[in-house]
Amino acid sequence: MELRHVRYFLAVVDAGSVTAASPLVHVTQPSLSRQLRLFESDLGITLFTRSGGRLVLSAAGRQFVPVARDLSRRADAAAEAAATLAAGRLQHINIAAPGTTFTDVLAPFLATLRPDDPLPAVSEQRPQRIYAALQSGADLAIATELPPAGLAFQPLAVLPIWAYVPPGHDWAARGSITVAELVNQTLLLLTGDYSPRRVLDQAVDQARLTYSSMLEFGTPQVAQAVAAAGRGIAVVSDDPRFGLQRLDIIGARGALSIRLYAAWDREHHAAAAIAALAGRLSDYCVARYGPQVAPLPARTRAQSGR
């Protein structure tokens, strides 16, 4: 079965006759009639009944019409996809990101996309699974760990880790707090698979300190909610909620922070388009949070391995 025969068949169905369909498919009337008979022979069914020079769809022909339309649509979609691949364009982009990044960074950025940008789909992933998602359908991964060797990547931003306290807290008017002061409080921390927790743990270890009291949470929003209830100090990197006041956390090497990266397969057919989108995301982070979050100059854009 040839695709051109499917299109000839549909042209006759839609035009109502071979005569009317002939100029639409740029085939002479006698040739189009012969092609239809050949199509019927290939299929082994009679698509039209012929009477008085007129073609009328047979029962089998009526049942075959939706099948033919589906084949034609799929062929058009395949041709469009092939053209997109050849041109290095993206119609859709699948993005893997942790929940906090999606809520505070990625979703607001997606709201700024232009009509000619690829249609985004986002899958929330646990932090340690972000880059693995590139092997299972994701086009772009957003994470806080340096991408593994072999991936192209773009440093996006350096985001502070904050201690959140309610407005009535003794520290609410302060701009920062030291790690040494913090560990003596009841802390509302994320679990160890989140980067803010790992960075804080490292700072505490380096200062040879220990937590006096802590509770663990699987989501930063819940940690902030409990802090708003006055049950402790939340330590997270996401934006403030529930009217909380944020404080920089000062360790031995300055304010604690995490680094945000975008990574993708450097062999991706649309690698250039993904790199451009990642660059825009980095610019958006700086515009949203200020120039102090700009990634280090030494980390150049769209690096491909180390």
Residues 150 and 167 in one domain: no
Residues 245 and 116 in one domain: no
**What is the structure's pLDDT at 279?**
92
Residues 270 and 294 in one domain: yes
Q: pLDDT-derived band of residue 162, with 50, 70 and 90 as boundaries?
A: very high
Q: pLDDT-derived band of residue 243, with 50, 70 and 90 as boundaries?
A: very high
Tens digits of residue pLDDT in 95-106: 998 877 777 888
Q: pLDDT-derived band of residue 261, with 50, 70 and 90 as boundaries?
A: very high
Residues 135 and 151 in one domain: yes
Tokens describing residue 301? 């854009």
Tokens describing residue 263? 């990574």
Residues 16 and 70 in one domain: yes
Residues 82 and 213 in one domain: no
Q: What are phi and psi of 268, to 5 degrees?
A: -60, 140
Overall average pLDDT of the 29-58 stretch: 86
**What is the structure's pLDDT at 151?**
92
**What is the structure's pLDDT at 296?**
67
* DSSP element (H, E) containing 50: strand 48-51
Residue 300 confidence (pLDDT) above 50? no
Residues 142 and 195 in one domain: no
**What is the structure's pLDDT at 83?**
61
**What is the structure's pLDDT at 306?**
35
Overall average pLDDT of the 269-295 stretch: 89
Largest CA distance in the chain: 98
Which single residue is written with the structure tokens 């985001």? Answer: 159
**What is the structure's pLDDT at 238?**
86
Residues 215 and 238 in one domain: yes
Cα dist from 248 to 72, 111, 121, whole Å: 60, 28, 33
Please state whether the predicted TM-score (pTM) of the whole model is above 0.85.
no
Tens digits of residue pLDDT in 138-157: 899 999 888 998 899 999 99
Tens digits of residue pLDDT in 209-238: 999 999 999 889 999 999 999 999 999 988
Where does residue 44 fall: left (phi above 0), alpha (psi -120 to 50 degrees), or beta otherwise?
A: left
Task: Print the domain residue range for 243.
Answer: 162-255
**What is the structure's pLDDT at 190?**
92
H-type alpha helices, 209-263: 220-228
Residues 201 and 264 in one domain: no
Task: For residue 130, give the CATH number of its domain.
Answer: 3.40.190.10
